[in-house]
Each structure stands twice: as structure tokens, then as C-alpha cells.
Structure 1
Amino acid sequence: MATTPSNQPYSTNPLDCLPGKLPQAQIPDGVDLQAGPNTIADKFPHLAADDFTDDAIWRDTYGLTGTMRTFYSSDRISTTWSILSKSRGVSSAVKIVPNSAKIIRLHEEASWLECRFTFQTKYPETECSAILHLVPVAGGIWKIWVLRTILEQISGHGNVDSLAPCIPQTDSSMHVEQESISSSGESHFHAVIIGGGQSGLSTGGRLQALGVSYVILEKNEEVGAAWGLRYNSAKLHTVREYAHLPFDRTFGSELGEYLGKEELAAGHKKWAKKYGINISLSTTLESGTWDIDRQLYTLSIKRNGATLRITAKHVVFATGAGSQVPLIPEWPDKHQFSGILMHSQNYKSAVGWKGKRGIVVGTANTAHDVADDMLEAGMAVTMIQRSRTFVLPVEYIASRYHLLYNENIPTEISDRTMFSNPISISRLLSAQAFHPMAKAQPERWEALEQVGFKVNPYGDIQEAINIKLGGHYIDVGTSAKISKGYIKVKSDALVERYTQSGLAFTDGTKIDADVIVLATGFDGNLRNDVERIFGKAVADCAGDCFGINEEGEVLGAFRVLQQPGLWYLGGALGHARYYSRFIALSIKADELGIPFPVHSDYSRNTVV
């Protein structure tokens, strides 16, 4: 008999080990919104332990640490702040952003005052911003509960968030005519970007805005193919306003709320043309070497049948969180299966399979999309569930996204709010938003359990994105079809082997199928791409990509690596858009000969 899903976690989450809790504070109406921010602003370069709550958290995104770091407790924060404020020359000319102070009320027992600052550093000269969350304590004193500091620009060297269209060229102050790859001899660029999807385009555009020489290497024939070549029914499960590339609102309001793959592909192609992005299509990276003495990478590429050489000081692996390396379960007797067997990477459409039987192995986003596509094509479909699945209804997440990503708020501001928070606080806020919604709909989860779908309605979206790299389902309607029995579910036994007509399971049962699609995910560790190109020594130095370290920072991705000049960038559209700016700024600083001093401990670059 199916049971009602519990509101407790189903597995140990490594994020549970991170410090962080919401403040227990009630802030009355009519409080002076300027008193606390003014006091903190006056002493900002010289913040001490008494200026923070005991359980305070400081997350820096390239502002003072030259990378991404999170520090916990007033003592640790004040000690580190003192060191970095002095060494980086934090100016006393701190400005409170006008009208930024506001009270955030999560519920009756949790509230705080949020405000924003701008400030500068001297070594090197940069412009930075800060988001502060202040809580009141006895005696009318305000203390910092959460501090977020963010690198904005390198003073006097362009705007990483602004690029004039190529035609007409309205502002040529930072324009650099990008060189194409020479068809003979050796070409040099300051940065080479591997992959022309959303991560590669974002990085290339930002480097162009800063006047850095770069080229993007894209294996496909057209810009946008990273989306265009996906299965026919692929579409975003996040709202349109979250989907833009840097510099503009790439997708207009004439398009639907959830963009399809063709709309995304067309938008990326139009954006690349608009900004004159330097991209070499139909180009594959074959191999590479690292010269430690010259601090230089040499890449061997193939284009139009010719093998060419490129050198660069920086190489950005922007091939995506999935790396497009499919994970395929090794079950015995695969050769015996007489039907069609494929990984979801190769799936396009179920058109032409009407009346046939389909099996989809997996229960994350792609698996649900494929199963729904098969059902709509007239197939009999069974999903094979291997583990309990976090299901997040699209209307839950849309309600939160609409508050932050909309036509009234610049995307740059929304991104700083979304991505600069400490991960331990972000997950608490997500739980506060989503879990009450889930609790209010027990019948939704009971219906899934009744048909054998093991559901976790109270999952952690931060774990899904940053550690598991998926495995969850944002429900755009397929859950209801499962609950009604239109799509069958097998979850009470594991696959044992293939049969001539389908799959056999450990409980002795068999399911027949004409088509089996393995929606079993991808290898998300970009380290493996590095090893394939540059060898084990470079890959070992670069380290792993994705998962979290002891501070709660994502491993490898978006951060300075121990391997000089090598970068990882992947993830969703928002990750590509936001984190590409810090990679571009770091590369520009290196080109200027003023690299950001990195306050980092590489012994922490291990998975928790």
C-alpha cells in the first residue's frame, strides 16, 4: 500500500553540514531604514567582530578574495576582513545605493533589513558592490547577519556588462577587431573558449566587451545548435525572463513563457550576429599541451578537414555541466535486445512509433519529457524509476522567479540577488518558499505514490543543481499523466538484464518494449574533458568540477583553479550569464598585468 510522503529528507544531504540559519528577529514597522546602513557604511573598511552576529556569513565573489569564498562566524569573518581590506585597499568612500534599504519579512519570526553599498579597492583598482542583511540587537544596534561582496568592474578598463551591437557600432571605445584563426601557421589569442553554447557565448561576449582577444571553438555547424539539436519537444522549465544572454533581453515578450529549443537556438544565433561574436564553427579540439615555462597552452584543432594550431594564455572549458558524455548503465545481454536502444542524447522524436511500446529509464526532467512525447505519439510507455525523485511543480518555481526576473528589474540586478547568496542561506530560503506549497497539496503526492512513483516533494533545489547536476523533475504536467495511469511506472525492483523483447528485473518480472531510451544523465565533471585534451597531470592540477567543498562553494566551476589559466563554466542559463563576467574580468586583469590576488586554500578543493 502506498504511503503519504514524509516532509523529512530522504537521504543525507552534504549541504546539511554547512553553518547557516535564518535570523530570529522581529523588526517593527516604521523603523529608521537608514540608521543601521549609515553606521555600517562609516566603519565599512574597518569592520570588526562586534559588527557581525555570532553566526554571520560572508560570501565574496571575486571582490576581495580574487575568487569565490564563504566565511562563517564573526571571529573568522572579522579576521579575514581585516587582512583583505588592508591588502586590497578598501576605500572609505563607501556609498549606500539610494532607496536600496528595505525590510525583508520571511514570516512573523524572521525578518531583516537589506541594503546595498558600492565601494572601491586600490590594489588593483576595482569597483565593487555589497549586499548586506542587518538584524537588530539589544540597545538599538544593527549587526550584519549576511554580507555579500561582489566584483563589478576593473576601474577604467571597460564595462563587462555592456557591449554595443556590432552594426551599427554606437560605441567603439572598447571595440577590438577580433582576429580569425589563420588557415596556415599558428594563431594566438589571449583566451580560447571551448564550446559555443550559452556558457561559451556569454564568456566570449564579455571578453569582447573588455577588449580581450578571444575565439570560441564550436563543433557544430551553426550557433544555437547546442539547443537546436536536442530532442524535438525540449523546452525550458524556467521562465523566459531568466533565459537571456548578457547585455540585452535576448527573448522578447512576444515569445511564450517557456521557450522551446528552436526559439532558444534562434535567439542565440541572432545574439551572436548582433554583437559580432568571434566563433569558429565546425571546429573540434583534438589535443593540447601546457608549457609551464611560457605559461602557454597550445591547441591542435580540426576545421574543414585541416589541422591548425592555436596558442592562448587562458582556456575556458564551456562545454556545459553535462559535458555531453552520456552515462550508460552496463546491464548484461544488451546484444540480445531486438528493438531500438538509445541514450536520450540521441533521442529526437517518437513520431512514427504509434502503437509501439516504449521504456524510459530515469525519472528526471529529460525522462519525463521523453515519456510524455512517447505518450502523445500514441505509444504505451513505462518509466523505470531507480531512486526516489524530487518533483518541483513549475508553478512553485515560476512564482518565485517572477518576483525576481521580470521586465521591471534589470537582469544584472536580479542575477546578483539570485547568485551571490551563501548556498546554505539560499537553500533555507528555497525551502521556506517551496515546502509550504508542497505541504498544502498532499493529494498530489499521494496520487503519484499510489501508482508506484516514489516522490520526494520536499527536496533541495540547491543540492539538485550544484551536487547532483539534476535528477529532479520540474513538473510541467507529466506528473498528472503518471498519476492517472497514462504513463506506467516500475519502481519496486532494479533492472537485471536485457531480454530479446525488453528488460528483466530483480523481482523476476519482465517488461516488453520496442524502444528503450536511457535517460540516465551525463558525466558532469569537466575535469574529464581536460584530461582527454591536456593529459592527467593538468587535469589533476585543475581538479574536479561540480559538487561542493567545505565552505559550500561549488568545486571548480566559476572559480580560480590551481592550474593557471584554465577555467570551468557550465550550468543553467543564469549560471552562464552571471559567472562568465567574473571569468572575463579575471582574464582581463591578467592581460593588464594586474591579476587579482587570490585568497584561497586549495586543500579545500575536495568534494564534501
Structure 2
Amino acid sequence: MRPSNDVPFDLKTDNGSDLGGDRQTTDTRSPTEQLAAWVERLGQRLAQRDIDGTLELFADDCHWRDLVLFSWNLITLEGKADIRDLLESRLEATQPDNWKLEGEASLTDGVLEGWISLETDVARGKGYVRLKDGLCWTLLTTMRELKGHEEPLGRRRPLGAEHGHGLADKRNWLEKRRDEEAALGITEQPYCLVIGGGQGGLGLGLGARLKRLGVPTLIVDKAERPGDQWRGRYKSLCLHDPVWYDHMPYLPFPDHWPIFTPKDQIGDWLEMYAKVMELNYWAKTECVKASFDEAEGRWTVEVLRDGKPITLKPSQLILATGMSGVPNVPVYPGAETFAGQQHHSSQHPGGDAWRGKRAVVIGANNSAHDICADLVENGADVTMVQRSSTHIVRSDTLMEVVFGPLYSEDAVEAGLTTDKADMLFASIPYKVLPQFHRQAFEQVKERDKAFYDRLAAAGFMLDFGDDESGLFLKYVRRGSGYYIDVGACELIADGTIKLKSGPGLGVDHIEPDAVVLNDGSRLPADLIVYATGYGSMNGWAARLISQDVADKVGRCWGLGSGTTKDPGPYEGELRNMWKPTQQQNLWFHGGNLHQSRHYSLYLALQLKARFEGLDTSVYKLAPSYHQG
């Protein structure tokens, strides 16, 4: 997914002088030697606290993405002025050292790139760097582990067996595990309370990392069993992302696992995961309300566990209720008179009961398509109401053109691990990402032109995002407005799923047996499904804590790109996700399985550092935007 350049960059060096100076000779060294020299020079200048000299190593168009290592935050620095500000603020506190190039560098289309490792005063890190014309274009630095607080893996793994006689603690593993489960939340308070234990493994993946790091953590969820958030959905549901993209921390799916996991299978996997990873998980537990005591630095959280009220006192509260917030359920005139059944897509159980009935689905994104296809499969007469354009990409094409270089069997066979794939994806700053993805989605348009022509001929409104950058940018900017096609589009193209579409089209009112649109159309209905999306995740904060706290945090998700449904100002990272918020000790964890897997590491390290009492002064805590 590397962007092509109109004029290829000639990678040259200053032959030993400062890289900001004139470049007079072509570098005859190997790419690895060139990049190793740059990394060494960067380390030297930082060690000398030579900020001016350090900035000479960066291009004017430069981007430094730091995930916790320097900032105790998730930030992207854009331009030399931003980098100067970070270094002036954080260089003494972090004391970066031991910068090294790891492995071989590569040089393609004028971009010299490779892996790096480094250390700070309290942590070890990894990163990725790209140079153009000998100067840094993009730099990624990430915290990977805290010194003195490493995970007990490899040579640090526990012994397990207790050999010898006369041991003070005679309990075996099972007895210790049962005692831990009985105590946490009852006689011992968790340091972290995670609200939400399913729907993509959001709470489970984070909980597993915190468990490995020795942070007392309790996960609560209202479902009866881990994985029920998936089991309760309509029966045809499968993950739309491929298996290589969806692995969970520590326990990847086995190599026979299906490419697209059926909902009940992922539900069973999550239940197994919670047990094998020894997570402290309270099922059938609903969070009723929460409040924060500024003086104590702790939360008071009221929950109902199997109907019994319990008060918890965690220090850190993590809302892991999914990327989406509270369901958006529109209120249309006359809805209370509807004689059939109406519900939000999140409550749709499946199409089994609707054979021979008339269904109207309001919306035209992922859930709407899946539900329409499910209803048609079960013999219903279905009409989709499309109110604005939708980005569509065929699953096969997405896998080959977009996912393929990082997440595929080809990538695995080429030696690309999931961790390295995640790091490579993260190494492309959001400001730069559109130019990478526009190229990929130009290939998508060309490859599937006939497919798009058939959809357009049926009246379906299509887009590729405001700037033609495609699926992932739409996802991170607004979390909606797209569908990964697994078959429903052909049903629209051939008329099996009826379509009403048009700019500004909407519901005027609802009658006892029909939906009436604002163009005068009357759609007879026995079932109405509102596939109308979700609000911001801070809606859960408003519901569980208070509207004041939700407003203090502001909007969750989105980059502030100024594109549709992603209002500015620009932030450069996903708002309030996996990082400190304006509300002390309140965190948000969400996204797809890939994001949950990767970013749970950085969230867990931030929480572990606070648990251990380390100095976690946050660089540039993001302000709150778009309250209410």
C-alpha cells in the first residue's frame, strides 16, 4: 500500500556531514547501512540534548507518531515545530537511549525504511522509520514494556508446580484461582474495572493484558456468558474482517480457523478465552451508575450482579462497550401507532419469523445490508431505504488489494507476524494515510467497475469517502457509512432487495401498516428495522456517570478531519480512545478486533504504570470537543 510518487525520490546522503546540508554525492552504501547511520546519528544528537541538530534529521514534511513512549499519550506530531515542542518538554524526563536499527532496511520508490528499537528511562520501545532524500518523513515510537514490570513470559514464566514439603501456602492452582475469583470485588477491590466483556473481545483483550501485567482487574458484563453479545445476533452474522486481521492478544486463532468467523464460533472463542486467560469476569452484571471522588482518586460504581446490588471502588474505570455508543433510535411521528414490530438493528434477532411478511429497513450500511439479506433468505419482502450515499467494497477485493499486504496467508508465509503487521499499519500517520489508500481504492474501482455500474443502475448511491480514500478512513473518521459486501449488493442490483434511495430522502411519518417517506412514497410494512447507527461512545459516560462528565470528555472517535460526520478541529489521533481523557481515571476502549488487540497494549501499559506509582505526566492532554 505504498503510495507512488510522481517524481521518484533520489535517496542521497551528505557523505558524513549534517543531513540538513547540501547533498553532493550519491550514497553507495546499502540501504541497511544508510538507515543504521541515520538512526545512530539521531540517538547521538538526542543524547547530547541537541534539539536543533536533531531537527536537521527531519524533512519539513515530517510526522512523528508516539504511542505512550515519550508522551504517556497517543499523539502525532506534524512538522518540526511540533517535534521541537515535544523534545523540549519530554527529552529530559524520558532520557531516550540505545537507538538501534533492527534487521534489514529496504529502499523502494525513494523511501528508505526499517525497524528500530530504543529505550527510555522507564521503558523499552520499538518503532519504524521512513526517510525521503535522507531525511525523516515518518517516525513511529511505541512503548512495549516497562522496565522492572515485564510480563511473565518466556524465561520469566511461572514455575507452576510447588515442589517440596512444609510449604506455607498449601493451596493448589485451582484453589488459588477460586479464592481469587471469590475475593476480587467482594473483600478486595479491583484497581481497574472494565465495563463490557465482549463484542469483539474488547474487555477480554484488555483484561488479558492487565492480568499478565499483574494489575487487579474485574470485567463486568450484563450477558449471561462471555460471547453472548455475538450469540444473540441474527443467525447469518459473520465477522466481515478476515481471520488474519482478527487475532486476539496471546492466543491467535488456530490455522484451520475460517477466514470469516461465524458469530456463534467467535462467541465460543471469547468464552474459552476468558477462562484460559484466567480473567476475573462477572457475567449477568449490569453497571447502574458511577461517580468519581476527586479527593480519594477512586470511583464508586454501583452494579447489579445477578440482581444483587454491589458497590465497587476501583481506581480506574474503563468503558469497553464497543466503538459504538448508545443506539440511535429515531422518533418518527406515528411510530406509536405501528401495528407490527419495530426495533433497532442491534436488537434484530434474525429473519426466521418474517417469512411472507413485509419488512422496511431504514439505513444502508453494514447492518442494514446484512439484515436485508437475512430477511430475504428467510422469505420476507424487503425494502431498503437509503438516505445518503454508502461506500461499498467487495470482501474478496478488500482482502486482496487492501488487507493482503499485511493480513493474509501470503503475508504469513512471507514471515510477517501479526505484531509486525499491526506496527506497520500504525506506522502510517493518519494525515498521510489517505494518500496510501487512495491508490489502493483506485485499484478497487477499476477491478470492480462492472459491479459498481450494476449497483448504480439500480439507483444505489455510492461513494469512496469525501476524499476518495475508501473504507478505513471512513471508519476512523466517522465509524459508519460503509458496507463490506458479502452478497447483499447483488440482491440489490437484481431487485431482490427493493431500494428507495435519494439525497435527503427520509421518513415523514409512520402509519399502522406502513412507512411513509418524505417524497410521498408509502411502504407497506409488518416489520421496521432502524439500522440507524450509534452515538458517540461518551453517550455511555452520560448514561452511567453524568452528562457533565460526558461533556467534559467530549466526542469519542473521529480524527477531526472536517469530512462528513467528523467535524474539526483536527487532532491526528482518534479522540479519547485508549489514552487519558479530561476526566481523571476514565478511559475508553473500543474498535474492531485488530484495534482492540493492538491498542490494548498501550492502554494496559498506561494503567500498569499508574498502578505502580510511576510518573505518567501526560504530554498534551487532548481538549474536549463537540459536547452534548
For Structure 1 versus Structure 2, the TM-score category normalised by the shorter chain is 0.7 to 0.9
| Offset, 1:164 | 10
Match of 1:478 among 479, 482, 488: 488
Match of 1:25 among 8, 18, 21: 8
Q: Paired residue for 1:293? A: 295
Q: Paired residue for 2:340? A: 339
Q: Paired residue for 1:14? A: none
1:600 aligned counterpart, secondary structure: coil
Cα distance change, pair 435–234 in 1 and its aligned pair in 2 (3 A): same
* CA displacement, residues 7-61 of structure 1 (integer Å, 9 cap, x when unaligned): xxxxxxxxxxxxx997953458997212331222222232622211111111111
Q: Paired residue for 1:68? A: 74
- Aligned pairs, how many? 567
* CA displacement, residues 280-307 of structure 1 (integer Å, 9 cap, x when unaligned): 1111111222111111111111112221
Cα distance change, pair 243–455 in 1 and its aligned pair in 2 (3 A): same
2:41 and 2:263 map into 1 onto residues whose CA distance is 50
Q: Is the 8 A contact 1:117 1:131 kept in 2?
A: yes
Gaps of 5+ in 1: 1-19, 106-110, 137-141
1:71 aligned counterpart, secondary structure: strand
Q: Paired residue for 1:415? A: 422
Match of 1:320 among 312, 317, 322: 322
- Structure-to-structure mapping, 1:168-567, within 5 angstroms: 179-180=180-181, 187-197=188-198, 198-249=201-252, 251-323=253-325, 325-399=326-400, 400-406=402-408, 407=412, 408-457=415-464, 458=468, 460-492=470-502, 493-523=505-535, 525-549=536-560, 550-567=570-587
* CA displacement, residues 179-209 of structure 1 (integer Å, 9 cap, x when unaligned): 3365996641111111101110011100011
* CA displacement, residues 369-391 of structure 1 (integer Å, 9 cap, x when unaligned): 01111111122211100101111
| Offset, 1:337 | 2.3
| Offset, 1:463 | 3.7
Q: Is the 8 A contact 1:166 1:274 kept in 2?
A: no
| Offset, 1:464 | 2.2
2:416 and 2:573 map into 1 onto residues whose CA distance is 27
Q: Which one is further off, 41-50 or 226-235?
A: 41-50
Cα distance change, pair 592–520 in 1 and its aligned pair in 2 (3 A): same
Match of 1:58 among 64, 75, 83: 64
* CA displacement, residues 584-608 of structure 1 (integer Å, 9 cap, x when unaligned): 111111111113221114347669x
1:290 and 1:214 map into 2 onto residues whose CA distance is 18
Asked whether 1:568 is paired with 2:618, we answer no
1:312 aligned counterpart, secondary structure: coil
Q: CA RMSD in A?
A: 2.8
> Which residue identity is paired with 2:457?
Q
1:51 and 1:586 map into 2 onto residues whose CA distance is 30
Q: Paired residue for 1:9? A: none
2:210 and 2:289 map into 1 onto residues whose CA distance is 24
Cα distance change, pair 192–255 in 1 and its aligned pair in 2 (3 A): same
Asked whether 1:81 is paired with 2:87, we answer yes
2:386 and 2:306 map into 1 onto residues whose CA distance is 43
Q: Paired residue for 1:108? A: none
Q: Paired residue for 1:119? A: 118
> Which residue identity is paired with 1:363?
A
1:473 aligned counterpart, secondary structure: strand
Q: Is the 8 A contact 2:100 2:116 kept in 1?
A: yes
| Offset, 1:368 | 0.4
1:169 and 1:490 map into 2 onto residues whose CA distance is 66
1:349 and 1:165 map into 2 onto residues whose CA distance is 45
| Offset, 1:565 | 1.4
2:442 aligned counterpart, secondary structure: helix
Q: Which one is further off, 566-575 or 341-350?
A: 341-350
Q: Is the 8 A contact 2:555 2:624 kept in 1?
A: no
- Structure-to-structure mapping, 1:127-138, within 5 angstroms: 127-136=124-133
Cα distance change, pair 163–489 in 1 and its aligned pair in 2 (3 A): farther
Q: Is the 8 A contact 1:50 1:74 kept in 2?
A: no
> Which residue identity is paired with 2:483?
Y
2:114 and 2:529 map into 1 onto residues whose CA distance is 50
1:455 aligned counterpart, secondary structure: coil
* CA displacement, residues 62-96 of structure 1 (integer Å, 9 cap, x when unaligned): 110110111112343244335423331011x2121
Q: Paired residue for 1:11? A: none
| Offset, 1:161 | 8.6
* CA displacement, residues 229-271 of structure 1 (integer Å, 9 cap, x when unaligned): 112111111101111110121x223232111101111111111
Q: Is the 8 A contact 2:291 2:299 kept in 1?
A: yes
1:355 and 1:167 map into 2 onto residues whose CA distance is 62
Cα distance change, pair 90–51 in 1 and its aligned pair in 2 (3 A): same
1:354 and 1:474 map into 2 onto residues whose CA distance is 26
> Which residue identity is paired with 1:283?
T
| Offset, 1:396 | 2.5
1:335 and 1:281 map into 2 onto residues whose CA distance is 34
1:255 aligned counterpart, secondary structure: coil
Cα distance change, pair 436–276 in 1 and its aligned pair in 2 (3 A): same
Q: Paired residue for 1:17? A: none
Q: Paired residue for 1:4? A: none
Q: TM-score, normalised by structure 1?
A: 0.87
Match of 1:103 among 82, 107, 126: 107
2:237 and 2:365 map into 1 onto residues whose CA distance is 13
2:348 and 2:61 map into 1 onto residues whose CA distance is 49
| Offset, 1:162 | 8.2
Q: Is the 8 A contact 1:167 1:274 kept in 2?
A: no
1:236 and 1:189 map into 2 onto residues whose CA distance is 32
> Which residue identity is paired with 1:540?
D
> Which residue identity is paired with 2:146?
I
1:94 and 1:459 map into 2 onto residues whose CA distance is 34
1:234 and 1:104 map into 2 onto residues whose CA distance is 41
Q: Paired residue for 2:615? A: 595
Q: Which one is further off, 340-349 or 36-45?
A: 36-45
Gaps of 5+ in 2: 12-26, 47-52, 163-171, 561-569
Q: Which one is further off, 192-201 or 334-343?
A: 334-343
Q: Paired residue for 2:18? A: none
> Which residue identity is paired with 2:106?
K
Q: Is the 8 A contact 2:363 2:531 kept in 1?
A: yes
Q: Is the 8 A contact 1:427 1:462 kept in 2?
A: no
Q: Paired residue for 2:16? A: none
Q: Which one is further off, 289-298 or 335-344?
A: 335-344
1:162 and 1:338 map into 2 onto residues whose CA distance is 62
Q: Is the 8 A contact 1:61 1:420 kept in 2?
A: no
Q: TM-score, normalised by structure 2?
A: 0.85
| Offset, 1:443 | 2.5
2:495 aligned counterpart, secondary structure: coil
> Which residue identity is paired with 1:543?
G
1:270 and 1:513 map into 2 onto residues whose CA distance is 41
1:180 and 1:192 map into 2 onto residues whose CA distance is 14
Q: Is the 8 A contact 1:195 1:317 kept in 2?
A: yes
